[in-house]
Structure 1
């Protein structure tokens, strides 16, 4: 960390209890689907990235900020934060609503996941819950715009509460990153474009960068890497980011402000090793940001992002499959790249 006295991460925003289940195939409306294998785990970027970073390297300090209910689900999340070794003094507990919960179904037919959420206290999260006055962390990872009504709305002269929080983080010297949510392209642009001038990095998937840039980046289910690169360059001009990273099933690409781009293919995960995709995007972001924190070359950051995501696919829970960064890389080397 030469040249930077700050160390570690803050992950802020969504904390929810995921109830992960498997299902043969997603049923049509007015019919019945049978689910099994219930596993309750923490979810949301404020949980997932924080826990993933700690699993990659337990020595790194990791703080988390969020809002939970004063109920059994909230107590399970507090226990999960403690088990992971997170600094959780800014996990606020509210009596006004239950803890945000998500029913997460993983289709065995398609491999895709479907989330149905009861927002609970997530509807009450606002910039007042974020305090950066005493942190010595280097990176702040924030999400999820689109499912927090108070944060999504204008706040004290800012376009939305996300802008308010990002500005506050940067004022104390934090480097900022934002995680997106699957909402309509129009809503995504309305929420995220005002945030771009207050971001240092942006890590999104191929569909999200297309939505932000109003570009077609996925054609017939296949990622158009050239279109993603062009969309990233366009979005860089609208913000303060030094880089934009796009991940997709076949690989990931980082585009820097100077126009340089680096592509690294993803890990060839054996089909029999895949249990579910829950949390794989968070794991990629954790691996990539860990590499940035350690000042690795971008190619190595992307490599660890892929390795962490590949390991995450081995379990239904969002963080259970992530292991130490050296072991992640060893597993990825054994499996090879696409």
Structure 2
């Protein structure tokens, strides 16, 4: 019997605002279109998984405010068949939100974020005694205040939580946020020895191990990506390290096998936005792992899931069922 996937962490509303340019300080940009959608690791990853394959049991652990945005999030997830019984509503905290400023021509986006109820989500909100799943995924490290706190025994609260989850026999997985800081070593590294799967982009993976993922001309350095994967495994990741970037996806197993799958070659005009593309990749990867596909096929599905996401400006509207995702890969790889 399938036990399914639990995703814990950030729940928020994205206000995706299309702009004609990203202005210099003090200058003006025109907002040409505004949409509201779900956002954050838990909402995006679960929504994408539900669309990819509605037969998988899915459960959300998170926090929202008792407000209109909170109701919007809860209804959206519930309508996709996701179990929201472990989403806590707070009276004195607003639902987290982000203004996602997206340049229309390139799809590049910049986030202005309000932490809201995500800042009070804690270890006490996880039902360890009754929890059942095949995979427990949490994100984003560096953006969950109470999980990022120091722990005298484990280094961080998140590391403690992942250890408790692993002791129940559930495989654990983490994702990070792309933060411009020096906190990666202190906040992320303690969790590595308690996660089976590490799935993050090239910036986050590189900063965790202090290896630059790109060359001086800003092209991806595949040898450095390979070094990042090896270092993360050496620091404790048990089964698989996965790194993604606009150029593609890479993975390394505990045994040292390395996989490299290029991004799809999408036609001109296809990309409408890139918000949530990383979560879409992650959902595709988790789906493949859950279904016990080979690593290369997992990466192919993940790259195609990310490509599906790029067809719409919000985080989840572009996602498709698994057969369509496979067709997308065959069409554009």
After superposition, residues 59-78 of structure 1 pair within 5 angstroms as 59-78=55-74
Instruction: Kindly indicate whether residue 13 of structure 2 is the aligned counterpart of residue 22 of structure 1.
Output: no
SS of the counterpart of 1:272?
coil
SS of the counterpart of 1:102?
strand
Show CA shifts across 1:94-147 (max 9, x none): 012111011011112442101101111122111111113323311111011222
d(CA) in 1 for partners of 2:254 and 2:273?
Answer: 34
1:163 to 142, 150, 159: 159
1:175 to 171, 174, 188: 171
Tell me, yes or no, if the aligned pair for 1:185 and 1:212 is still in contact at 8 Å: no
Identify unmatched segments of 5+ residues in structure 1.
Answer: none
TM-score, normalising length: structure 1: 0.95
**Stretches (4+) displaced over 3 A:** 155-158
After TM superposition, the structure 1 stretch with the greater mean CA deviation from structure 2, 112-121 or 204-213, is: 204-213
Tell me, yes or no, if the aligned pair for 1:262 and 1:299 is still in contact at 8 Å: yes
Identify unmatched segments of 5+ residues in structure 2.
Answer: none
d(CA) in 2 for partners of 1:323 and 1:109?
Answer: 24
Partner of 1:122: 118
Over aligned residue pairs, what C-alpha RMSD do you find?
1.4
After TM superposition, the structure 1 stretch with the greater mean CA deviation from structure 2, 179-188 or 288-297, is: 179-188
Deviation at 1:216, TM superposition (A): 1.8
1:142 to 124, 138, 145: 138
After superposition, residues 100-249 of structure 1 pair within 5 angstroms as 100-155=96-151, 157-184=153-180, 186-219=182-215, 220-249=217-246
Tell me, yes or no, if the aligned pair for 1:6 and 1:136 is still in contact at 8 Å: no
Deviation at 1:185, TM superposition (A): 5.1
SS of the counterpart of 1:117?
strand
Instruction: Kindly indicate whether residue 268 of structure 2 is the aligned counterpart of residue 256 of structure 1.
Output: no
Distance 1:226 1:156, change over 3 A: closer
TM-score, normalising length: structure 2: 0.96
Deviation at 1:317, TM superposition (A): 1.2
d(CA) in 2 for partners of 1:156 and 1:129?
Answer: 20
Tell me, yes or no, if the aligned pair for 1:106 and 1:276 is still in contact at 8 Å: yes
SS of the counterpart of 2:146?
helix
Instruction: Kindly indicate whether residue 294 of structure 2 is the aligned counterpart of residue 297 of structure 1.
Output: yes
d(CA) in 2 for partners of 1:190 and 1:291?
Answer: 30
Tell me, yes or no, if the aligned pair for 1:241 and 1:257 is still in contact at 8 Å: yes
Tell me, yes or no, if the aligned pair for 1:133 and 1:172 is still in contact at 8 Å: no
Tell me, yes or no, if the aligned pair for 2:44 and 2:276 is still in contact at 8 Å: yes
SS of the counterpart of 1:152?
coil
Show CA shifts across 1:71-102 (max 9, x none): 11101111111111100000100012111011
